[in-house]
């Protein structure tokens, strides 16, 4: 008997949005996972965590999700990529339910949204900075591709003409073990 491991990994395959498989329009756990680029485990975990809810179960116990839940999962996935914890995401998603009036709900939502926008701004700033630093590093290192100066290589790159006296971003200095400033 050959023991075959079930492939639970993420598919990363084509995100064909028009992949309407079932007649009733509902989505299986696998559909949810494939479309959003998550694993089955993750989808199940999110249900267990209470931030995702299958519309119903099939007679045999298979989870069946509505399109709404797919959108929800995609949103959750995006927020996770943005670095939010499941707790933070949960409170965002439960904001409306936990308020008594439209006004208070909107108030709480606005506060949370402003917070997230600010945090996104910080990350955008950091990421663009990192990106340009990496671009600079790439520029420089293309010259090193033809480096034959192997008696200077690991330890004396500081004195190399390719690198010397240039204003290098700190990340490049860290990456290439160059002297500080």
Binding site for DNA (CB under 7 A): 3, 5-6, 8-10, 22, 28-31, 39-42, 44-45, 49, 58-63, 80, 85-87
**Under the criterion CB under 8 A, does residue 45 sit at the interface with a second copy?**
no
44/173 Cα distance (integer angstroms): 43
- Asked if 172 and 140 touch (Cβ cutoff 8 Å), the reply is yes
84/77 Cα distance (integer angstroms): 10
**Under the criterion CB under 8 A, does residue 48 sit at the interface with a second copy?**
no
**Under the criterion CB under 8 A, does residue 2 sit at the interface with a second copy?**
no
Three-state SS string over 49-94 comes to CCCCCCCEECCCCCEEECHHHHHHHHHHHHHHHCCCCHHHHHHHHH
The residues in 105-134 that bind a second copy, with binding defined as CB under 8 A, are 105-107, 109-110, 113-114, 116-117, 120-121, 123-124, 126-128, 130-131, 134
The residues in 84-103 that bind a second copy, with binding defined as CB under 8 A, are 92-93, 95-97, 101-103
**Under the criterion CB under 8 A, does residue 164 sit at the interface with a second copy?**
no
Supply the minimum distance, in Å, between the C-beta of residue 181 and DNA: 24
- Asked if 24 and 15 touch (Cβ cutoff 8 Å), the reply is no
Closest CA to 88 of 96, 77, 78, 80: 80
Binding-site partner at residue 49 among DNA, a second copy, none, CB < 5 to 8 Å by type: DNA
Q: Which two tokens stand for residue 63?
A: 């989870």
Number of residues that bind a second copy (CB under 8 A): 62
């Amino acid at each position: 008997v050959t023991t075959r491991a079930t492939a639970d990994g993420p598919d990363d395959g084509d995100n064909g949005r028009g992949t309407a498989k079932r007649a009733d329009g509902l989505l299986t756990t696998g559909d949810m996972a494939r479309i959003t680029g998550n694993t089955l485990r993750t989808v199940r975990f999110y249900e267990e965590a209470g931030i995702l809810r299958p519309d119903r179960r099939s007679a045999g116990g298979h989870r069946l999700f509505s399109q709404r839940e797919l959108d929800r999962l995609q949103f959750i996935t995006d927020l996770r990529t943005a670095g939010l914890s499941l707790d933070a995401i949960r409170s965002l998603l439960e904001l409306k339910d936990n308020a008594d009036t439209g006004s208070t709900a909107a108030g709480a939502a606005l506060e949370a949204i402003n917070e997230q926008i600010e945090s996104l701004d910080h990350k955008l700033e950091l990421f663009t900075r990192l990106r340009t630093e990496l671009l600079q590093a790439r520029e420089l290192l293309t010259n090193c591709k033809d480096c034959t100066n192997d008696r200077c290589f690991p330890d004396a790159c500081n004195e190399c003409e390719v690198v010397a006296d240039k204003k290098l971003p700190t990340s490049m200095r860290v990456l290439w073990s160059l002297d500080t400033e």
